[in-house]
Amino acid sequence: MQQRQTEQSAEQEYVDALYARLDGEVARVSADLAEAVRGSSTDPEEAFTREVRVGMLDRRARTLRAAEQHLCFGRIDHADGSSLHIGRTGLSDGDDQLLVDWRADAARPFYAATAAHPMGLRRRRHLRLEGRSVTRVSDEVLDGSEPGPEDVVGDGPLLEAISARRTGRMRDVVSTLQAEQDAIIRSAHRGVTVVEGGPGTGKTVVALHRAAYVLAGFEEARADGVLVLGPGSRFLDYIAEVLPSLGENDVAMTTADRLVADALDIGLDLADVPEAGHALRRAAGDVRLADELAETVRRYQAPDGTLTVMVDGDAITMDTHALAEARATAGGAGLPHNQARSLFKDLVVDFVSDEVQARARIMLAKLDEDIEVLTGGVNVDQAAAKDLERLGFGPDEGGAFGHAAAVAELDPGALRAELADDVALERAVEAAWPHLQAADVVLDVLDAHPELAVDGIPGDGGTWTAVHLPLLDEAEHLLNGPPARTYGHVVVDEAQELTPMQWRSVLRRCPGRSMTVVGDLAQAGPATGAASWADALGSDLAKRADVRTLTVCYRTTAEVLAAAAPLLAQIAPQQAPSRAVRNGDEPRRRAADGDLTGAVVEEVATEVAYGDLVAVVAADDAAPGLAEALSDSPAGGVRVVPVSQVRGLEFDAVVVADPEGIRHARPGGERDLYVALTRPTRRLVIVG
């Protein structure tokens, strides 16, 4: 006891020094920032340098502010007697490293050392801070030696963290990251990392901490930004605080639908775009539609036939052969349709211009012949010179007159410019290779696929829905090329939920293919049904991916996992169940006895009495009725979450209403039920 207090006061002293340093740095950075913002310069290079400096200082200021809470959470003591304190940001005093950023290599043993592989450590210490006070010190001795008098053996900060009551918002877990998670977070692999694992193994945690790590460590991620994609707005709200608490405020977070809706400037406001059913989403997610869209666009590109342009009353026609050649050249240049159209138009202008010049040459040759006939073979140069001059044709460079000079006078550059602006020519080009909008192309495909339309063709009685977004995005890409906004690193959570067409939208925005993809195929909803990562990502990317598996469940208890195990064996027999790190209550099962709503209301009341965060999970069409019944009950305010929206979320206690109803509500309902059963951190109640 005495020893513990001495250790704690020593740490308090150290932590006081850290906060003094932090305060000093905050003051210094704020002053530098204010000065940098005030400065002004007309020299563009100086202005640019200042802008970069403002950006860096601003980032540092935010990191320091975010680090204020739980600034330091650990310490490692090396066998050689040296030690390091680990925290949310690095702090130094001259050459003295007072605090090591958790992302730094030097911090790695804090997360990765074990008694079997101590990595040169003698001891790992966890510090708990409340405000600026050290309220607990707990140690693990790692060199296999007996605890000495100064060692305070830890009481499981991890267990404490995972047993804590949930608030409905995910927190960062930087102080208790586990070795298997840490290894993925700091992986140097710059390509695609796939993280799979059962429910609650920390996939989301890993994805978000990796985003923070990548931002600090990968230049391209810092330069081009990091994007985090989640399955829905409920989920995004749930994870919204994690990255800011790690000092990262600049990460874009959105859903795959919104990503595309925001990027496409086609007058589609997602608020007006209804969510569509899973069957439609699945059908519209079929990757073969990408080929159909490409084929549709190709059909617009100089279809077989001829192209005629009227020039000064003369019809000039590109025959099928010439047209096919122009199509092959323009279409084969690897350009998107609307850009290739410019090339095609250039080729048409070339053709017409050549033809006009050739005709002029023939006409003038004929004129020469006619004159020769009329003058009986007399050299007319002298005689014609005056006439030609009068007609506006000057002498050529050698001072000679003749049709060569006359043709040269037809200035090809001026002729081409005139043709390029010619309305008739533009009309002929538009007919052969029209400028297209994404919606035009998708509407053509919908014509051939009435099953993808909702209440008819959009614009003609029907509506665009979210499921059409990846099709519009694909078409936009075919027409106008890659998206303007791309990212240096993309994190995809609940990745099993993306359809193949959505993957194409995502990959398009990550040209460097630096990605962290986390998900669990056993939880795949009915819209995707991906059986492998190769199905999802495409086999090329999947082959190159670094696939990691998380095996320990940090969310729920062994008892809850056991209740879900038979279902897992059924839906993913190849997947080994995760190992839970703690035990709890047996799940409670209650028959509905003909009154499901009444039974749910009662069970919810029991759970709410514990003071826990409680949710009811029900089939989508049963959820609104239950929500209404509950809002009238004393347990009003408890969330009823439709099963289709519960992926990735967690609650202290979960009441699963009518499991058979969930199982049969939509195809793959047993996967929905598996997701529902694995949401609680403490207690599971099954009513039905």
Ligand X SMILES: Nc1ncnc2c1ncn2[C@@H]1O[C@H](COP(=O)(O)OP(=O)(O)OP(=O)(O)O)[C@@H](O)[C@H]1O
Distance CA 601, CA 633 (A): 7
Q: Residue 106: which of 141, 92, 18 has the closest Cα?
A: 92
Q: Is 345 part of any known ligand binding site?
A: no
Closest CA to 170 of 100, 227, 253, 226: 253
C-beta of residue 554 within 8 angstroms of C-beta of residue 202? yes
Alpha-carbon 325 to chain mean position: 40
The minimum distance between CB 242 and ligand X, in angstroms, equals 9
204 contacts ligand X (rule: CB under 6 A) = yes
194 binds ligand X (CB under 6 A): no
Single-letter code of the amino acid located at 142: L
In the complex with ligand X, the residue whose CB is nearer, 204 or 296, is 204
How many residues would you count in the chain?
A: 688
Q: Is 232 in the site for ligand X (CB under 6 A)?
A: no
Question: What amino acid is encoded at 19 in this protein?
Answer: Y
Residue 202 in the binding site for ligand X (CB under 6 A): yes
326 binds ligand X (CB under 6 A): no
The reply, when asked if residue 204 is annotated as ligand binding, is: yes
Task: Please select the residue that binds ligand X; options are 15, 99, 177, 340, rule is CB under 6 A.
Answer: 177
Shortest Å, Cβ 550 to ligand X: 7
* Cβ at position 197, least distance to ligand X in Å: 6
Contact flag: residue 603 with ligand X (CB under 6 A): no
230 lines the binding site for ligand X (CB under 6 A): no
| Spatial contact of 252 and 227, defined as CB atoms under 8 Å apart | yes
- Which C-beta is closer to ligand X: that of 178 or that of 514? 178
Closest CA to 492 of 277, 273, 239: 239
Structure tokens at 616: 């009811």
Window 45 to 84, contacts with ligand X (CB under 6 A): none
178 binds ligand X (CB under 6 A): yes
Cα 683 to Cα 688: distance, rounded to the nearest angstrom: 16
Q: Is 554 in the site for ligand X (CB under 6 A)?
A: yes
Does residue 201 interact with ligand X by CB under 6 A?
Answer: yes
The footprint of ligand X on residues 463-502 (CB under 6 A) is: none
Of the candidates 89, 181, 301, 465, which one interacts with ligand X according to CB under 6 A? 181
Q: Which residues pair with 124 in a beta bridge?
A: 76, 140
Helix 469-480 vs helix 288-299: crossing angle, to nearest 10? 40
Paired strand residues for 137: 127
- Alpha-carbon dihedral 185, 191, 196, 199, rounded to 10 degrees: 50
**Does residue 197 touch ligand X according to CB under 6 A?**
yes
The first and second tokens of residue 264, run together, are: 């496409």
Q: Of residues 74, 90, 199, 231, which one binds ligand X by CB under 6 A? A: 199
Q: Does 193 bind ligand X (CB under 6 A)?
A: no
Task: Enumerate the β-bridge partners of residue 146.
Answer: none
Q: Quick one: which of 196, 224, 650, 672 contacts ligand X (CB under 6 A)?
A: 650
Site membership for ligand X, residue 158 (CB under 6 A): yes
Kindly state whether residue 276 participates in binding ligand X, applying the rule CB under 6 A: no
Contact status: 567 vs ligand X (CB under 6 A): no
Q: Which residue number, 164 or 365, has a Cβ lying nearer to ligand X? A: 164
Residues in contact with ligand X, shown as a per-residue x/- string from 520 to 549 under the rule CB under 6 A? x-----------------------------
Indicate the helix (H) or strand (E) that contains 684: strand 680-687
Q: Is 334 annotated as a binding residue?
A: no
Q: Which range in 64-72, 169-177, 262-270, 363-371 contacts ligand X by CB under 6 A?
A: 169-177
C-alpha–C-alpha distance, residues 685 and 618, integer Å: 12
d(CA 330, CA 345): 9
Residue among 538, 540, 536 nearest 527 (CA): 536
- Write out the binding residues: 197-204
Binding footprint of ligand X on the chain (CB under 6 A): 158, 161-162, 170, 173, 176-178, 181, 197, 199-205, 520, 554-555, 648, 650
Binding positions for ATP: 197-204
